Chain A
Amino acid sequence: MDALNFLSKKEEVEKEINELKSQIEEKKRVLETLVSNQNKHNLTNWEISRYSRQILVPNIGIKGQESFKNGKVLIIGAGGLGCPAAQYLAGCGIGHIGLVDYDEVEENNLHRQLLHQENSIGTSKVRSAAQALRSINSHIKVDEYPVQLNSLNAIQIMQSYSVVIDASDNPSTRYLVNDACIMTKLPLVSGSAVGMEGQLTVYNYKGGPCYRCLFPDPPPPNTVSNCGDAGVLGPVPGVIGTMQALQAIHILLESEGVLSSKLLLFDGADTKFRTVKLRGKSAGCVVCGENPTITRLIDYEQFCGAPANDKHAAVNLLKPEERITVSELRTALKEKGKPVVIDVRSKTEFDICRLPGSVNIPLADIEKQSAQNTLKSVISKSPNPNEPVYVICRRGNDSQKAVKKLRELMLLNQDFFDVRGGLHAWARDIDHTFPIY
């Protein structure tokens, strides 16, 4: 056989093999359909085996598993709430999961955002979480949206899904997700957690209220606490995120137990769960009421007066001459001999790390008489009572607020300076052994 002849014969056989292979695949599908028709459902034997332990639960059954298979759930945020929610939904075999998050994995996420690994630090959260989900369940579809959800992309992303889980971390995003859910007619499972507490409810479900029915006006930005400042214990968002998955399941199953017009409050400090009754849909609601005035997505950062993230923007409350740098602080500490340094962080933070000799007066206490007495006594006992007082905090924002307050409050003729960039700057520029949190 010459070379040309050999090649054409080989190609012919290969083609036949491929045809037979696709015939086998086709026959397998016919058999599957035959079997499932016989069984009166569309689950394969493999699916029955894999999900058997939940199919056995009467509330789920074959019908429930079919709903899971056809279920499409979008999760906004792949953090402390989004990770456990996504993990359980993937485990259950929810056929299509979407993940939205613009952010990257940071080391301080790992204690609670358990889909992310040490080696994913610095990579996209969505990428990292999606990979973890695929290794939990390779048979589901996971869509990745490594973007900041905003008024331009929200509806486009959301309309491919049947349930939305809000696992975000700021009011601007929460209003955006709410309004977009009204416009796309999707139920919204809303969870949140800070410190030792969590909250959970479902909006826009079967005539129930939406986020705006409850909270027509956004909270003042200075009253919004976040995990980066107030801290959060991992299992707390773990509980809430897991229950968000359960709520999404209830919605897919159209079963009882959906927290519509109800709010679940979880207090992890004294291990208390409480479900309270909420108002119904508000006729006057600007987005879901009878005569809505918001019919297109708006600028939510402007509406809330705060960015759609929980990061810290540097504030500028003081004039440049009222602030010093960390190197100037170091010089003052060296040359002036024990100037008074007031640290305005919380006591918990002060216990983590502090400048030697600094005195802790938390910003929250600064207006209290006791705090002012402490300050006066520290100043009067210092070697140079006429020297300026230096005020420091974690990043150089609260220290400016404190300086402003102290100037208003202190009658004595005392100079106060805040330290730009706070202890983070100190750790970066002066003392590399100083911890950063």
Chain B
Amino acid sequence: MMTSECMPVTLEFGGGAELLFNNLKEHELQLPNSRIWTVRELLIWMKDNLIAERPDLFFHGDSVRPGILVLVNETDWELMGELEYEIQRKDKIMFISTLHGG
């Protein structure tokens, strides 16, 4: 696929969420540019294509499970429209599992 037909997006995982994604903290994606991608659609894509194990520890319904914080370009997704946020070229989406230990 030519670059112009793809949308580069970076996914980052932290707080242990990376363990479910092949233990990789950063994933560089090229999403097909043929449609609009919302976070909702990204999550579906991740469920089908990216998660390596135990999806129930990450997803819940059409969202992420309680205790996982989603950040769009280092901002809480709640301020960005959550599932409906339209992903832009070169966006960085982070999935941080909250830590409880001490």
Contact = CB atoms under 8 A, between A and B. Distances in A.
B79 interface: yes
Nearest to B97: A223
A312 interface: no
Contacts of B76: 276-279
A80 B57 CA distance: 27
A382 B98 CA distance: 43
B99 A199 contact: yes
A220 B65 CA distance: 8
Interface in A257-309: 263, 265, 267, 274-279
Interface string B12-26: 001110010000010
Interface stretch (A146-154, A155-163, A188-196, A349-357): A188-196
B39 to A, nearest CB: 15
Number of chain A interface residues as a range: 35 or more
A398 to B, nearest CB: 14
Contact of A276 (B16, B25, B75, B97): B75
B35 interface: no
Given A217-B66, A364-B53, A225 B101 contact: yes
Contacts of B101: 80, 169, 192-194, 225-227, 230, 232, 310
A345 to B, nearest CB: 15
Nearest to A275: B74
A197 B102 contact: no
A261 to B, nearest CB: 9
B84 interface: no
A422 interface: no
B65 A225 contact: no
Closest 6 CB pairs of A and B: A219-B67, A217-B66, A192-B99, A194-B101, A279-B78, A81-B102
Given A219-B100, A223-B65, 14 more contacts: A77-B102, A80-B101, A81-B102, A193-B101, A194-B16, A194-B101, A199-B96, A199-B99, A218-B67, A220-B67, A225-B99, A227-B101, A227-B102, A277-B79
Interface of B: 14-16, 19, 25, 53-54, 57, 65-67, 69, 71, 74-76, 78-79, 94, 96-102
23 contacts: A77-B102, A80-B102, A169-B101, A174-B100, A192-B101, A193-B102, A194-B15, A194-B16, A197-B15, A198-B99, A199-B15, A199-B96, A217-B66, A219-B65, A224-B100, A225-B100, A227-B102, A230-B101, A275-B74, A276-B74, A279-B78, A279-B79, A367-B54
